[in-house]
Amino acid sequence: MSIYSQRPLDFSGLRTVGLEERGGKVKVADFATVYRKGSGVAGLLDSLPHILAGDSFRAVVDAIAAARATKAHGAGFSNISRRPCRLA
């Protein structure tokens, strides 16, 4: 006899399906990969997942890099905001 009023869930009828078989929106290729030591910032960004905030973070980094490059060429802040930045 248990001291708890509820019984544990019964998972005996539970079936699992592999990611490759289910055909959802997420693919195994979209998952994060291991960062390779010495691959720098580009390697770090490449290792991030291509789902959720990974792509959004890449977009922010690209926008910052473009803004710095634009500013380095003597442009003002009015030109920086013209580069589209899509945040998912």
Name the residue ranges covered by the structural domains of the chain.
24-80
Best CA proximity match to 30, nearest among 19, 40, 41: 19
Mean pLDDT of 59-81: 72
For 10-63, what is each residue's pLDDT tens digit? Answer: 899 999 988 778 777 778 889 999 999 999 988 998 899 988 888 899 899 989
pLDDT at 51: 86
End-to-end CA distance of the chain: 51
Question: pTM for this one?
Answer: 0.51
pLDDT at 1: 65
- The answer to whether residue 77 scores a pLDDT higher than 60 is no
Q: Whole-angstrom Cα distance, residue 28 to residue 34?
A: 14
- Count of Cβ atoms closer than 10 Å to residue 79 Cβ: 13
